[in-house]
Structure 1
């Protein structure tokens, strides 16, 4: 594999690992510093909306400037927002306001950074001498590794070092990710300058360009269907991990087993992604799609039984395995079918919806768990995915997933809503 895809993948792993560490360490540091569980929740709530808005607004910027540059800048923003916390702590001491302020600033690096990397993917495929299937399979596998290592690394660091040192280490991962992205040649990040691209990028103000991205996304049955499936998956998996399973493990008096659910999920993701990286170019894509879609439904159904700890762990592995296949295939389809000059706006909107989706699912699951029961909440969440799965199975726009002989044909079909 050439240097360009290796640098891209290494940068992706470090960025995701840093976010994974921060996701565990930052709430603990906020709690240690403020002594308030309510304050910890306030930081998360206060940064949620800016993260969604940043994903939307920055998509326009990502379509206007070199995408390697936007990826580097967003990583630097993430690094600076985390590194600023120990600096403030040394100068004047931290309080809740500082955590909220730098959390908001950091939101302009996290979600846009994810979008910038995804927008860069087609160029990495073109210039890196690697198939989209292999690249996406490896990328999804690295995501599973980060998911597995991040919480463990955060816990270890919190034991070995004080909060400031952990923040410095977390910021360093984003900084290293930015430096590794600089190994990708600058020309690889150039935004399309073809006829379609020029008009879309140069014409109109930021708001009109954002609306152009929404038009492409919501007028395409294919993009609507794939986005909906991905969003529903997050809306189901998030509440299961964050609410339903913690409540259930506590009730069966085995809370220590909760962490193994994440391990089983990550192991499944790694296996599924590796399988797709090796064999993704073989067979029909519809077969891979069905395996991921139905397998995820099977896994959620197994978890929803809540019959034993080992059954739940097995269900988590099946969900991970199927999601590894499904996520890798979706990544390849997004590379092929989102117009080059619209990737920042379309993917920025998709990622913003993805950030908000788990919160919606969590609120609904919390109501059902509180007033009906945890078992009902698990079954309801699995039922939501089964409905989405049925829609995915019969959607006309998802029947033919094979690549077009002319790469521009599929982009044109999506742009025109075909």
Structure 2
């Protein structure tokens, strides 16, 4: 593997690892300081709303500046917002207001940072001599490793020190991710001239955002893949954050809940690793069917709540299918999103993916309250029937190989040209 993909993957891994550690340590620190579960929920809610807004708006910025620079800045913002908490605690002491303030600041780096890193992907493929399939499979596998290691690292730090120490480690991983990204040549982050409108005046931010939405809404392929990802995130959050905690509590085995995340991450590691090894050997249509059908089977096994062992097996199956689906969709996004609009389109997708989990949790809570746990689990899993049918039968998802990429991708490029951004070279990334 050449240095550029290796540096990119290492930076992505460290950023995700830091988020995984903070996901365990930060709620515990809020509880320690405030003594209120409601306070922890308020911090999470206060961070989620600006994260959605930042994902939408910052996509325009990412389409205007060097994407390597954008990735570095957002990692630094995320790291600084986390490092500020133990600093304030040492100087004046923390309160709920500090958590909300730095949660909002951190949200301005998290979703835009993910978007900037994803917008870099095509250039990393072009410059690194690595196929998009291999790169996306490795990224999904490393994401799973980060999910596995994060809680373990956080737990170890909490045993040896305290939650503040865990946040220092989180800030350090963000700083290291930013420094690693700086090792990527600046030229890699530049938006190619072919993706810009030549000889036209700069466009306003609102107009750029509107143009991005026009491309997204005008592409059946992008709409379908975005919808599949949104529903998957919504259902997974509903099961993981509400249905399964209630289930394991009812059977008197709450300690098993953590193993669900482990099984899910292990499955993602298997699915992403398998795609990295064999992504170019099987048809993309076959990988898509494996992803949507495997996800349906995983959701169904979990929702049956037959036994703890069955739930864990369903989580592993769901993770493997998600690893395959995420890798495939990442490759297709590299090929089919116009170069000049990656920030806006991916920012919108990531913003929606940030908003989906809370909606799933609320829906699961209402169903559990009024219909009971078993009915709620089945109803949540049954929602996947619609996306499954779309994945199997929808025409835009039936021709996914390179020779079919131009059909939908050109459609998006036409919108891009009409918007004044110039045509992107569809599928260019695969030339590496």
TM range (shorter): over 0.9
Alignment of 1:122-141 (within 5 A): 122-141=122-141
Using the TM superposition, give the Cα deviation of residue 203 of structure 1 relative to its aligned residue in structure 2, in angstroms.
Answer: 3.2
Alignment of 1:15-414 (within 5 A): 15-194=15-194, 196-198=195-197, 203-404=202-403, 411-414=409-412
Q: Give the conservation status (yes or no) of the 8 Å contact 1:54–1:112.
A: yes
CA distance in 1, matches of 2:155, 2:200: 44
TM, length-normalised to structure 1: 0.97
Residues 70-109 of structure 1 show CA distances to partners (whole Å, capped at 9, x for unaligned) of 0000000001101111111122111110110010000111
Rounded to whole Å, the distance in 1 between the matches of 2:303 and 2:321 is 16
- What secondary structure sits across from 2:403 in the alignment? coil
Moved over 4 A (4+): 199-202, 407-410
Aligned length: 416
Match of 2:425 in 1: none
Q: Matches of 2:199 and 2:146 in 1, distance apart?
A: 36
- The answer to whether the Cα contact below 8 Å between 2:288 and 2:391 also exists between their aligned partners in 1 is no
Runs of 5+ unmatched residues, structure 1: none
- For the residue of structure 2 that corresponds to 1:198, the secondary structure is coil
Check conservation: 1:83, 1:168, Cα contact below 8 A.
yes
**Contact 1:24-1:154 at 8 Å conserved across structures:** yes
The separation in 2 between residues aligned to 1:200 and 1:87, in whole angstroms, is: 49
Contact 2:289 2:391 in 1 (8 A): no
* Contact 1:123-1:189 within 8 A present in 2 as well: yes
| Shift in alpha-carbon separation, 1:408–1:371, aligned structure 2, 3 A | closer
2:63 and 2:399 mapped to 1: Cα distance?
28
How many angstroms does 1:361 deviate by? Answer: 1.0
In structure 1, the residue matched to 2:12 is: 12
Q: Distance in 1 between matches of 2:413 and 2:24?
A: 40
Q: 1:369 to 1:65 in 2, by over 3 A?
A: same
- Per the normalisation by structure 2, the TM-score is 0.94
Q: Hey, what's the Cα distance between the residues in 2 that align with 1:400 and 1:67?
A: 30
Once residues 203 and 402 of structure 1 are traced to their aligned partners in structure 2, the CA distance between those partners, rounded to angstroms, is 35
Mean Cα displacement is larger for which, 116-125 or 79-88?
Answer: 79-88
